[in-house]
Amino acid sequence: MIPKELLEILACPKCKGELLFFGDFFVCEKCMLKFDIIEDIPDFLLDDAKKITEEELNKLKDERKS
């Protein structure tokens, strides 16, 4: 589990923008990059990040609201 204090200060390693937290991963809405969390450690290496589409992001946001 990632402490709330840490969630508040984490930023995208590419653009330094805000990250959306989805439990098992983070998403940078500006860069459209998904960063996985592996064994409770966020993997913010740009080489490991996955590009996502706007449709995928919208689906994730909708699922989070439910």
The torsion angles phi and psi of 44, rounded to 5 degrees, stand at -100, 20
Q: Residue 53 sits in which domain range?
A: 4-65
Show contacts of 33-42: CB within 8 Å, 24+ apart. 37/2, 40/1, 40/2, 42/2, 42/10
pTM over 0.75, yes/no: yes
Which CATH number fits the domain that encloses residue 13? 2.20.25.10
| Domain count for the chain | 1
pLDDT in tens, 13-59: 999 999 999 999 999 999 999 999 999 899 999 999 999 999 999 99
